[in-house]
Structure 1
Amino acid sequence: MEPLSHQEAADGADPELPPALLPRIGDVAHAGMDEESSAWSVFDISGARGLIARIAAGDMPDGWTRALLDAVRVVDIDDNALRALGPIGGRRRMVGAPVTVYWPAESWPVLAELIFAELADIPGAARTRKIVSSVFNDATVNISTDPAHPDLVFVSVGGSVTDKRSLWSLRASEERYRTLIHHLPWALVLVDSTAMLPIFDELRAAGVSDVGAHLDAHPGLPFESRAIVRVTDANRNAVELFGAGCADQLIGPVDYLFAASPDTAKRVITAHFDGRRNLTEIMKLRTFDGRLRDVQLSITYPTPPERLDVTLLMFEDVTERLQTEVQLRQLQEEYARAARIATLGELASSIAHEVNQPLAAIAMNAETSLRWLARDEPNLAKVEQLTKRIADSARHASEIVQRIRGMAGRHAPNRTALDLNRVVEEALMFVCHDIEARGIQLGVKLDIGLPRVLGDRVQLQQVVVNLLVNSLQALAGRPHSQIEITTSRDGFGGARLSVRDNGPGIAAEDLHRVFEGFFTTKQDGMGIGLAVCQSILAAHGGGISAANQAQGGAFFQVTLPPITD
C-alpha cells in the first residue's frame, strides 16, 4: 500500500487501510496495555529498506537515526496518539508525513533502533523498550510487524500522558518561551540543577537542616556542585555580557559563573536547599575576556509541577551604576563636609571660647607652678598638683581640637551603635557658649530609656548642631529667648529628637521648601544645612520634619529607627 503524499494529506484525503489490518492493529497496539493510557501508530517503512540494508551490512552512516525516520511515513494513528502528538489539522496532516515531523525527538534513537532490529530480524534484539518522552510518563514503546504486510510496522506506546496539551502545542509553547528568553533585555541563562536533588535528599536523610553550616564544614561541595550543575541555554545578552563568541560557549558546567564570587555559589545552594523561590544579590563576575564586572544576580528556582530542570538566572550589569553611586556618595560626603565647615565658621566665637578655657587654665597653673618653684624652698607637692592640672587642661584642649577636627575633617561614614542622648550632649558642646553669651534659656530633657540607634556619630552630631544653630539665628536680638531639646521614643520603637524655640517661626509659604538644597531666607546663608540634615537622616533610615508651634516658634522633629537584630 502506497502512503499518502504530503499534497494528498493536505487536500484531506482519508487513509484507507486494508480491512484485514484493523483487528490486527487493535491486537498489537493494546496488547497488555490499558487502552486509555496507550497510543498506536502504523508506519510505512518501504522507503527506509535501502538504508536498513546498508546498516545491516555494516555501513552505518553518520546521522542514520534521523535519516531512517525521515524515510518512514505515517499511515495511520489512533485517537490517543492524535490527542498527544497531533498538530492543528489532525490526522489528515500527519498521514503521509515523515515520522520525524511529529514523533518526540528525544526518543528518536530508541524508535530507530527498534525499527531496525525488527526489520533486520536481529536475533535476541528487544522489541519493547523504555523511552524518555516529553509526552508520556514511564513510557514503553513496542514494535511489531505482520508478514502479510511487510512494508508496515505497528508501534504502540504505553504510559500516562504528561501534559494534556499535544506535543505540537508544547513545541509551540517552548518556541514562544525561547523567543521571549532570547529577546528579553537582560542577560539570561537557563540552568539544569537536577543533579543537586539527590545530593539534597542525601543531606536531608543525614539530618542536615542548616545547609549553610554544612557547606562551611565541607567546602568541597560548592565546587562539586559547580561542576555538575550545567548551563543549558543562554540568550544573546548573556553572550554579550560574558564576552563570548556564541551561546555554545556558555553551555556547560556553571563553574565560570561563580569563579569570581565563590560565596555567592554557597548562597545559591542554600536558597535551593531551603526551597526558596527567588534569590537576588550583587556579585562579581569574570567575563571570558578577563573583565571583572559587578552584576545583580536574580535566580528563579522551579517548583513542582514546573520543569525542575529549568532554573532561570538573570544577570544585570550594574558596574557603571555602582561606580556612579560611589561618586554620588563622595559628592554627598563633600557636600555634608562643606556644610559642617560653614556651621563651624558660624560658631567661631563659641569654639574660640571653648578652646581658650583650657588654654587659660594651663597658663594660670603654669605661672603658679613657676612661683612655687622660685621659692627658697620649692613646694614640690604643690608643683606636682599644678602640673597634673596642666596635663588635664591640655588633654581637655586636645579633645576640643579633635572634636572640631572630626566635625571639619573628611571621613567615610562609620556606622556604630550610638546613644542619641550622648550625641546630643556632644553637639551641645559646640553651641553652649553662644547660648550662654546670648542669654538664651536652654531646656534639655533626655529620655534615659532611649533605644540605641545605628549611625555615624559625626553626621548625627552635625544634624543636632545645625538645628541648634538655626534656632540661635532665629532668636538673634529677641528678648526672653528659649530653646528646648528633648529626646523620647517614637511610636515605632525608635528614637525621636525634638528641637523647638520661641522665635518667629517659619513663613507658611516656606514650610515645604526648608529642606531644599540652597534654599535660604538669610541674606548671608548658604541654604545647605537643613538639606544636608535630611540627606543624612534618610541615609540612616530616619526622617526630619518642620512645623510651627501654635504658641509661636519653629519645631523640628527627627526620627531614627532602632537597631534590629
Structure 2
Amino acid sequence: MSEMRSSTSELHAGFVPEFDALYRGSPYWELDTADARMFVGAGPSGREPQADWVGEVLGRSRVVGLNERAAHLVGAPAGREEMIGRPIADFWPPDSQDDLAELIADVATDRSPRVIRTRDIGSLLLQDPVLTVWRSHETGADTVFVAVRGAVNDRRSYWSLRASEERYRKLIHHIPNPLLRVDARAMGRVFARLKAEGVNDLDSYLDAHPELLAFAEQSVRITEINRAAALLFGATSATDLVGPVKCLLQASPETTRRVMVAQFDGRRSHAEVMKLCTLDGRLLDVQLAVTFPTPPEQLDVTVISLDDLTDRLRTEAQLRQLQADFTRAARISTLGELATSIAHEVNQPLAAIFTNAETSLRWLARDEPNLAKVVQLTTRIAASARHATEIVQRIRAMTAKHAPERRPLELNEVVDEALLFLRHDIETRSIRLSARLGLGLPRVIGDRVQLQQVIVNLLVNSAQAIGQAGAKGGLVELSTGLSEAGEVVFVIRDNGPGIPAEDLDRIFEGFFTTKDEGMGLGLAICQSIMTAHGGGIVASNRPEGGACFRLWLPAEPIAAQGWETRPL
C-alpha cells in the first residue's frame, strides 16, 4: 500500500489505485455528504455560485478521514483529530470554496459507478494546484474523496498563512489611502487563452471584440475595500462596493481598456488620472494605480489604490487662472506705458487715409476728374485702413482675456509684431535698434500673444535701463537663430548699465524689482510663459557692458531644411 494509505487507514476503501502514484503525499480528504444531498442537486446550473448555496454544501459535508498532509495544510491548530466530524467549510480556504462545492455537487449527483472531476484552482500555498473530487460505487453514494496536487510554495499551514494575511488585512484596513482588492482570475484565464491562440496585440483585438470590455467589467470583481475607500465612495459599508468592478469605471469607460492592455502586456502596474462617480453622486478626479500580480502570485490579489485629486486639480486650475489674470494685467499695464508709441503707430495709417482722401476729393472737383488717379488714391486709402485695423486688432489681442492657443508660429513674425508697439518709443529715446533675424528657422509651437508679451517686456526693460542710465548712443540688438541643440533662440542685448551682480539670481523672482514704481512681475511672468512653452530664459551681463537676455523654444518636430546651425 502507498505511503498515503499507511498514514490514514480511513481512506483505504475509497482510494482509487490509479491515483496512488499521482497523489502520493498530497493532501487527501474523505467527506460524508449525506446531509448535503438536498442542496447538491439544486446547484447554480452554470451560473456563478451563490454564497449561501456554497455555504450549505460545504457546511453539511463532514470530514470523516484525512491524511497528515491535509491536516497540516488546512487543519486546525489542534491537528487531525479535531477535524474529524466537522464540516469541511470550517477548514477549506475561501479562495477555492466555490470550486470545491461545484465539484462535490457534480460527483454526488452523477449516478455513474465511478465519477471523477478535476479543476485548476487558486491557492496561496501551492503552485498550479489541481483539485480532484471523486466517488465510487464501492464506498456508497454519500462518500466523496478530495485531493489537491501541486508543488508547495509555502510550507506554512493555511491557518498560519491566514493569520498572517489577517494581520495584513488589518494593516491595509487602517491605511489612510483608499485601497481595493480585486479578483481578476476570470480575465487571467481569458488572457491565457488569447495568447495561446496567438493574440499579441490586445488593443487591436478589442477593436474587433468590444464585448470583451463589458465582460471584463462584470467578471473582474471587487472583493474587499478598506475604510478609506468606503469613505471616498460615500459607501455606508464595505459590502456596498463588493461586486463587479464596473462601478469603479462607469465614469471613465476608456480606463477599462487601458488597464486590460497593461495587464495583458505583463506590466507590473498601471496608473492614470480618471473620473470617479461615487455612490452618493459626486464626480471626482482620482489617480488610479493598479498593481498586477505576476506568477506565482494569485490573480485574486490585484490591488487598486485611489488618490483623490479633486481639490488639488481645482486649486491648480484656480492658480492657472490667477496666473492668466496677472499676465493679462501685465500686458495692459505695459500697453499703458506705451500709449504714445501705440498712438503714433495708429496715427500713421490714419494720417495717410486723411491725406489720400483730401487729394482724391481735389481730383474729383476738377472740371475733368482724373478717375485713374482717384482709383489709385482710393486703393491707398483701403490699404491704410487695413493697416490701421490690423494694428487695432493686435492691440485688442494683447488686452483680451483668452485661453492660450498653441499653434505653429514663425518666431521672426512674432518679433516683428512686437516691434509694432515699441518702434516709436525707442526712436523718441534716441535708441538705435539693430535686428538680425535668422532665415529659414523652423517654426515653434506657442501662443502668439504670450510670446509677443515676453519680447515686448524685454524690449521695454532694455529701453528703460538705457534711459535711466542717461547714456547717449543707446543701442538695442535683437537676433534670432538656431542653437546647437536645435532650439529656436531669441537674444536681446543692450548697452545700458547691466544688472547688478547681486541681483542676477533674483530678477526672475515674483515681486522683485529695482524700479521705484515697478511691481516686479514682468520678468517673473516672462519666465513662467517660457517654461509653459517648454523653453526657458536666462539673463547675464555683457563683458563690454549692458545686459543680455537669451530665451529659447523647442522647434516644431519637422526639421528645418537648409539651415546652418550657428550658436547664439
Structure 1 length normalisation: TM-score?
0.81
Structure 1 pair 536–204 and aligned structure 2 pair: CA distance change class (3 A): same
Match of 1:466 in 2: 457
1:65 to partner: Cα distance: 4.5
1:518 to partner: Cα distance: 1.7
What are the within-5 Å matches in structure 2 for residues 263-412 of structure 1?
263-412=254-403
Instruction: State the alpha-carbon separation in 1 of the partners of residues 132 and 303 from structure 2.
Output: 31
Partner residue of 1:161 out of 151, 158, 162: 151
Give CA-to-partner distance per residue, 1:494-541, whole Å, 9 cap, x none.
222222211111112222221122221111222110011111112222
**Equivalent residues of 2:478, 2:491 under 8 A apart:** yes
What are the within-5 Å matches in structure 2 for residues 86-105 of structure 1?
93=79, 95-97=81-83, 102-105=91-94
Match of 1:16 in 2: none
What are the within-5 Å matches in structure 2 for residues 133-148 of structure 1?
134=123, 135-136=125-126, 137-140=129-132
**Equivalent residues of 1:38, 1:156 under 8 A apart:** no
**Equivalent residues of 1:30, 1:38 under 8 A apart:** no
Give CA-to-partner distance per residue, 1:237-275, whole Å, 9 cap, x none.
222222222222212222222222223333333333433
Instruction: State the alpha-carbon separation in 2 of the partners of residues 248 and 125 from structure 1.
Output: 43
Structure 1 pair 22–460 and aligned structure 2 pair: CA distance change class (3 A): closer
Match of 1:418 in 2: 409
SS in 2 for 1:195: helix
SS in 2 for 1:527: coil
Match of 1:11 in 2: none
Match of 2:514 in 1: 521
Instruction: State the alpha-carbon separation in 1 of the partners of residues 402 and 502 from structure 2.
Output: 37
**Which residue identity lines up with residue 333 of structure 1 in the other structure?**
A
Instruction: State the alpha-carbon separation in 2 of the partners of residues 245 and 543 from structure 1.
Output: 51
Q: Which runs of 5+ in 2 are unaligned?
A: 43-51, 559-568
Instruction: State the alpha-carbon separation in 1 of the partners of residues 389 and 176 from structure 2.
Output: 58
Instruction: State the alpha-carbon separation in 2 of the partners of residues 503 and 158 from structure 1.
Output: 88
Match of 1:38 in 2: 25
Give CA-to-partner distance per residue, 1:23-48, whole Å, 9 cap, x none.
957978895434896235688x9xx8
Structure 1 pair 154–211 and aligned structure 2 pair: CA distance change class (3 A): closer
1:221 to partner: Cα distance: 4.0
**Which residue identity lines up with residue 482 of structure 1 in the other structure?**
L
Greater displacement, 498-507 / 477-486: 477-486
Aligned Cα root-mean-square deviation (Å): 4.0
Partner residue of 1:497 out of 490, 495, 508: 490
**Equivalent residues of 1:37, 1:159 under 8 A apart:** no
Match of 1:187 in 2: 178
**Which residue identity lines up with residue 463 of structure 2 in the other structure?**
L
Instruction: State the alpha-carbon separation in 1 of the partners of residues 39 and 547 from structure 2.
Output: 102
Greater displacement, 386-395 / 478-487: 478-487
**Which residue identity lines up with residue 475 of structure 1 in the other structure?**
I
Match of 1:7 in 2: none
**Which residue identity lines up with residue 338 of structure 1 in the other structure?**
A
**Equivalent residues of 1:451, 1:493 under 8 A apart:** no
Match of 2:549 in 1: 556
**Equivalent residues of 1:133, 1:139 under 8 A apart:** no
**Equivalent residues of 1:231, 1:252 under 8 A apart:** yes
Structure 1 pair 269–562 and aligned structure 2 pair: CA distance change class (3 A): farther
**Which residue identity lines up with residue 480 of structure 2 in the other structure?**
T
**Equivalent residues of 1:40, 1:154 under 8 A apart:** no
Greater displacement, 288-297 / 371-380: 288-297
Instruction: State the alpha-carbon separation in 1 of the partners of residues 498 and 151 from structure 2.
Output: 77
**Which residue identity lines up with residue 534 of structure 2 in the other structure?**
G
Structure 1 pair 215–35 and aligned structure 2 pair: CA distance change class (3 A): closer
Instruction: State the alpha-carbon separation in 1 of the partners of residues 425 and 257 from structure 2.
Output: 57
Instruction: State the alpha-carbon separation in 1 of the partners of residues 348 and 155 from structure 2.
Output: 89
Structure 1 pair 394–204 and aligned structure 2 pair: CA distance change class (3 A): farther
Structure 1 pair 255–500 and aligned structure 2 pair: CA distance change class (3 A): same
Structure 1 pair 503–175 and aligned structure 2 pair: CA distance change class (3 A): same
Structure 1 pair 377–156 and aligned structure 2 pair: CA distance change class (3 A): closer
1:143 to partner: Cα distance: 8.2
**Equivalent residues of 2:363, 2:369 under 8 A apart:** yes
**Equivalent residues of 1:114, 1:126 under 8 A apart:** no
Q: Which runs of 5+ in 1 are unaligned?
A: 1-19, 148-152
1:129 to partner: Cα distance: 4.9
Give CA-to-partner distance per residue, 1:353-377, whole Å, 9 cap, x none.
1111111111110111011011111
Match of 2:441 in 1: 450
Structure 1 pair 279–446 and aligned structure 2 pair: CA distance change class (3 A): farther
Structure 1 pair 101–209 and aligned structure 2 pair: CA distance change class (3 A): closer
Match of 1:534 in 2: 527
SS in 2 for 1:525: coil
Structure 1 pair 344–210 and aligned structure 2 pair: CA distance change class (3 A): farther
**Equivalent residues of 1:186, 1:314 under 8 A apart:** yes
**Equivalent residues of 1:39, 1:156 under 8 A apart:** no
**Equivalent residues of 2:29, 2:63 under 8 A apart:** no
Match of 1:243 in 2: 234
Partner residue of 1:253 out of 241, 244, 247: 244
SS in 2 for 1:530: helix
**Which residue identity lines up with residue 530 of structure 2 in the other structure?**
L
**Equivalent residues of 1:188, 1:237 under 8 A apart:** yes
Instruction: State the alpha-carbon separation in 2 of the partners of residues 207 and 553 from structure 1.
Output: 69
Structure 1 pair 523–385 and aligned structure 2 pair: CA distance change class (3 A): same
1:413 to partner: Cα distance: 0.8
Instruction: State the alpha-carbon separation in 2 of the partners of residues 113 and 545 from structure 1.
Output: 72
Matched residue pairs, number? Answer: 530
**Equivalent residues of 1:140, 1:157 under 8 A apart:** yes
Greater displacement, 404-413 / 25-34: 25-34
SS in 2 for 1:513: coil
Instruction: State the alpha-carbon separation in 2 of the partners of residues 112 and 265 from structure 1.
Output: 31
**Equivalent residues of 1:25, 1:154 under 8 A apart:** no
**Equivalent residues of 2:72, 2:79 under 8 A apart:** no
Greater displacement, 202-211 / 291-300: 202-211
**Which residue identity lines up with residue 298 of structure 1 in the other structure?**
A
Structure 2 length normalisation: TM-score?
0.80
Give CA-to-partner distance per residue, 1:325-378, whole Å, 9 cap, x none.
221111111100111111112212211111111111111101110110111111
Instruction: State the alpha-carbon separation in 2 of the partners of residues 546 and 58 from structure 1.
Output: 83
Match of 1:507 in 2: 500
Give CA-to-partner distance per residue, 1:436-482, whole Å, 9 cap, x none.
22232222222334333221111111111111111001101211222
**Which residue identity lines up with residue 161 of structure 1 in the other structure?**
A
What are the within-5 Å matches in structure 2 for residues 3-152 of structure 1?
24=9, 32-34=19-21, 38-39=25-26, 52=34, 63-65=55-57, 67-68=59-60, 72=63, 77-78=67-68, 80-81=69-70, 84-85=73-74, 93=79, 95-97=81-83, 102-105=91-94, 129-130=117-118, 132=121, 134=123, 135-136=125-126, 137-140=129-132
**Equivalent residues of 2:114, 2:136 under 8 A apart:** no
Greater displacement, 281-290 / 463-472: 281-290
Greater displacement, 108-117 / 505-514: 108-117
1:214 to partner: Cα distance: 4.8
Instruction: State the alpha-carbon separation in 2 of the partners of residues 374 and 54 from structure 1.
Output: 118
1:423 to partner: Cα distance: 1.6
Instruction: State the alpha-carbon separation in 2 of the partners of residues 295 and 117 from structure 1.
Output: 45
Instruction: State the alpha-carbon separation in 2 of the partners of residues 318 and 210 from structure 1.
Output: 32
